[in-house]
Chain A
Amino acid sequence: MATDKLQIALYWGAACGGCDVSVLDTNEFILDVAAAADIRMWPIAVDGKYSDVEAMEDGELDLAFYNGAVRNSENEHIAQLLRRKSKTVVAYGSCAYMGGIPGLANLTNRDKILDTAYVHNASIETGNRVVPQPETRVDGKVLEIPRFYRRVYRLDNVIDVDYYLPGCPPDAGQVKAVILAIVKGELPPKGSVVGASDVALCEDCPRTRGEKKISRFYRPWEILADPDKCLLEQGILCAGVATRSGCGVRCPKSGIPCRGCYGPLPGVVDQGAKLLSAVSSVIDSKDPDEVDRILEGLPDFTSIAYRYSVASSLLQRSYQQ
């Protein structure tokens, strides 16, 4: 297909749909994109089929946005397909970038997940407890559904990724800026994180900061937080210290602690470990019992510290036989 228009595809992997909505959040800008580009596949909005992509020449697409983690064989298949067909692939959003919320499933295992979803769950009728199988025989024919993997992967676990655009979802302004940069060909070196700052969220956070000493942790609902003071200093576990800025400080400005969706700072190997290391350094006690008591205020610290980054942590998954 010979055209001057930018050839684009967008795909939704293991994701909630928020990333697709964030593209629409660019409002009328998306109409300009549609005018300047051919959107060849975008399951949520455009009528392009997998088979249309399969029929393309390799490298026919200029740009593919993949959002969501890689949870099953279908996700991986499309990721491979887009990689072949597109000159540039962007891991769009925290799930594609780091595994994201679906990556928390790596703290348990496939059998337990399927058991909870299809067998031992109060909302499932007895007699209807069926675990879906990859292959089902009906009337002598074989029906296939995607295979559910043992663990969740980041996009770059399965394909080569050109750029990473973090966020849960990415900030609409940043999305716009990245699309414009791509159109103009003004992109940083391959492998870069785009649409985000290289400094932690605190840099842009309007709350005042002092020395940190935490003698009690609060869940956000347990306290009426001071609107002007650093949330972490108030005992609310804010991941902003260990997270790239670029989101516009949406959460702390709304009184909600940062959850870390923009990912680790450049050079940080493990975002959750960094947050753990930072927070444990400022616990205001040297007495082991007292420290234990303070930490009891943080049930399931792993899920909080690694909310988006289990699949991109050093360990990537919990040890399961």
Chain B
Amino acid sequence: MEERKIGVYVCNCGTNIAKMVDCDGVCEHAAQQPGVVLAKSYKYMCSNPGQEMIIEDIKEQGLDRVVVAACSPRMHEPTFRKALQTAGISPYFLEMANIREQCSWVHDGGEAATEKARALTLGAIRRVQYHQPLERRSVNMCPNVLVIGGGFVGMTAALELADGGSQVYLVERQRNLGGNVARVDLTAPYLDSARDMVTALITRTMEHPNIFVFLNSEVGSLEGYVGNFRAVVDTVWGDQATSNEYEVGNVVVATGYKEFDASRVTHYGYGKLPNVITSFEFEKMLRAGRVETKEGKTPNYAAIIHCVGSRNREFHTYCSRVCCMTALKYAHELKSAVPSCYVSDLYVDMHAFGKGHEDFYRRGSEAKTLFLMYAKGDHPVIRKAEPKDGCEMLIEVNEKLSREVIEIPADLVILMVGMEARDDSDAVARLVNISRDKDGWFIESHPKLDPVATTTDGIYIAGACAAPKDIPDSVAQARAAAARILARTIRGTIDIDAVFAEVDEDKCCGCRICNGLCPYSAIEFNEEKKRSNVISALCKACGACVAACPSSAITARHFTDEQIFAQIEGVLA
């Protein structure tokens, strides 16, 4: 191998590294290594002067490889790669030694931390000599978008995309658009009509020239990769079934949620006591404009019970987020419909975190709703009342604030059923190749920094399919997903990272060990050639197939055996 000219930069990270590691000592040690032409220690390598130092040294000293001993590459690899690029050499000629997270932060000083920093840095020095000047490639980005789910979120995303010029294929399983929001009367906390909002959305969606709406339809298959998917849409109308294939560049999954099945909770008598109903059944009453018991009587007493199926170990441990405000909305709507009705609200905690929600809670209190708090883990008990009681049911509750057992009358009980993942969320996840969490919700690429993207490039999730959400949050996500897609399609092409796995066809024997391993479905088997192949645009360079390939026919660029062995030998030297 030709002699390299390596520059080594040891970052103090203020005192983050310097207080545990003798940075000058690491520099001196690095400077003695073959191939190293200079080694410098600096307070903040990621600062502008730090980057400038690297750029100048590359230009003036002719460095052809750079080692930065600093923080995790997750933090600043892009920063330093850019510096190399600015200086005119391949950004892949960089290697970082993580002497902060893996060293100074986890040790309590002494010579050992410095020794480890020296070893990590030497590993990087040995490794970087084998780095190759990789080139990023770009592939075509089809501007068409597939939106799965024709509810509030799907329609919002579709309209945003269509207004932006994308051709949108909107696929809805039901015979109508609208989803769960179409089953709701008013919305909390401003009491706008959900019906008006949904109707306006449906009209715009159906009339938009850039949106193809497929009702009674499902996505049969999705193949390909970001920018270049092929989606098959299966439609059934009566006894007629059709199937069509469309090219799309990105996909928005907006499949929403399903309501918790109240009959799974036995202690509220749902299904046995006729006047115990779910929130969605109450919405139906509100939309029909008639609030009454099964017997057709006007209720004198109504009770609302929170957290049905949510926030308990037996069913779902998570909070469904929308029920508290919906419950307050019901109290309000009950009072409007039947002003003489006494309304009780049995809650665990009142989650009023959103904009305008606390004010709404205050207005509910002022409207003489009786708020009764019960403990998490406990639950009210409902029984049928005697004729002498003058009501349909009696509810016994251990009231937490007064520490008293209170019995209240009720003619109508509304159970605030939570949200849960749809039964077929597993099938949808497999269809578009994304993951689900323990509760069945789709997992985002990063919960804070990358909420609507997924680990599969080109697949976005929006709304309650990713976790319970109210309408404003869901709409924000729908528009965020649309904006993300538009921002990428506007360029017409997409850059593919230069780091990916590739199969050497001359070495592959077609044993198919790798075929089922790829979490991103990037491996295909060519039956004709009897060879496996990695679709580089889908590959995330996780290395699962590389490690498994018994022929060493699969190589991960930038993580070759040569590079890894050199690094190990450097660390152990």
Residues of chain A at the chain B interface (Cβ within 8 Å): 198-203, 209-213, 232, 240-242, 245, 265-269, 274-275, 277-278, 281-282
Q: In the complex, what's the smallest C-beta–C-beta distance from B549 to chain A, in angstroms?
A: 7
Q: In the complex, what's the smallest C-beta–C-beta distance from B145 to chain A, in angstroms?
A: 32
B356: chain A residues at CB < 8 Å are none
The answer to whether B552 touches A241 (Cβ under 8 A) is no
A selection of 18 A-B contacts at a CB cut-off of 8 Å is A198-B506, A199-B508, A199-B509, A202-B509, A211-B515, A241-B509, A242-B550, A265-B507, A265-B551, A265-B552, A265-B553, A268-B551, A268-B552, A277-B547, A278-B511, A278-B549, A282-B513, A282-B516
Docked Cα-Cα span, A210 to B551, in Å, equals 17
**Residue of chain A at shortest CB distance from B544:** A281
**Residue of chain B at shortest CB distance from A239:** B550
Docked Cα-Cα span, A146 to B144, in Å, equals 78
B519: chain A residues at CB < 8 Å are none
The answer to whether B512 touches A200 (Cβ under 8 A) is no
The answer to whether B513 touches A241 (Cβ under 8 A) is yes
State which of A199, A241, A242 has its C-beta within 8 Å of the C-beta of B507: A199
The answer to whether B509 touches A212 (Cβ under 8 A) is no
The answer to whether B509 touches A274 (Cβ under 8 A) is no
Docked Cα-Cα span, A265 to B510, in Å, equals 14
Q: In the complex, what's the smallest C-beta–C-beta distance from A228 to chain B, in angstroms?
A: 16
Docked Cα-Cα span, A175 to B548, in Å, equals 32
The answer to whether A265 touches B561 (Cβ under 8 A) is no
Interface residues of B in 537-568 (CB under 8 A from A): 544, 547-553, 561, 565
Q: Residue B517 at the A interface, CB < 8 A?
A: yes
Give the secondary structure class of B's interface. Answer: loop
Q: In the complex, what's the smallest C-beta–C-beta distance from A244 to chain B, in angstroms?
A: 9
The answer to whether A209 touches B550 (Cβ under 8 A) is no
The answer to whether A211 touches B551 (Cβ under 8 A) is no
The answer to whether A200 touches B550 (Cβ under 8 A) is yes
Interface residues of B in 491-532 (CB under 8 A from A): 506-517, 525, 530
The answer to whether B551 touches A281 (Cβ under 8 A) is no
The answer to whether B552 touches A209 (Cβ under 8 A) is no
**Residue of chain B at shortest CB distance from A238:** B511
The answer to whether A267 touches B561 (Cβ under 8 A) is yes
The answer to whether A200 touches B517 (Cβ under 8 A) is no
- How many A-B residue pairs lie within 8 Å, measured between CB atoms? 80
Docked Cα-Cα span, A241 to B553, in Å, equals 11
The answer to whether B565 touches A211 (Cβ under 8 A) is no
Q: Given A198-B507, A199-B507, is A265 in contact with B513 using a C-beta cutoff of 8 Å?
A: no
The answer to whether B547 touches A200 (Cβ under 8 A) is no
**Residue of chain B at shortest CB distance from A200:** B509
Q: In the complex, what's the smallest C-beta–C-beta distance from B546 to chain A, in angstroms?
A: 10
A266: chain B residues at CB < 8 Å are 507, 552
B513: chain A residues at CB < 8 Å are 212, 241, 278, 281-282
The answer to whether A212 touches B547 (Cβ under 8 A) is no
Q: Which of B508, B516, B517, B550 has the most CB of A within 10 A?
A: B550
**Residue of chain A at shortest CB distance from B561:** A269
State which of A209, A213, A268, A277 has its C-beta within 8 Å of the C-beta of B511: A209
B509: chain A residues at CB < 8 Å are 199-203, 241, 245
Q: Given A267-B561, A269-B565, is A275 in contact with B512 using a C-beta cutoff of 8 Å?
A: no
Q: In the complex, what's the smallest C-beta–C-beta distance from A100 to chain B, in angstroms?
A: 20
Q: Given A199-B509, A200-B509, A209-B510, is A267 in contact with B516 using a C-beta cutoff of 8 Å?
A: no
Contact with A along B356-384 (1 / 0, CB 8 A): 00000000000000000000000000000
The answer to whether B515 touches A267 (Cβ under 8 A) is no
Q: Given A241-B551, A265-B551, A275-B550, is A203 in contact with B516 using a C-beta cutoff of 8 Å?
A: no
The answer to whether A209 touches B512 (Cβ under 8 A) is yes
Q: Given A265-B507, A267-B561, is A278 in contact with B512 using a C-beta cutoff of 8 Å?
A: no
Docked Cα-Cα span, A175 to B515, in Å, equals 36
A277: chain B residues at CB < 8 Å are 547-548, 550
B551: chain A residues at CB < 8 Å are 199-200, 241-242, 265, 268, 274
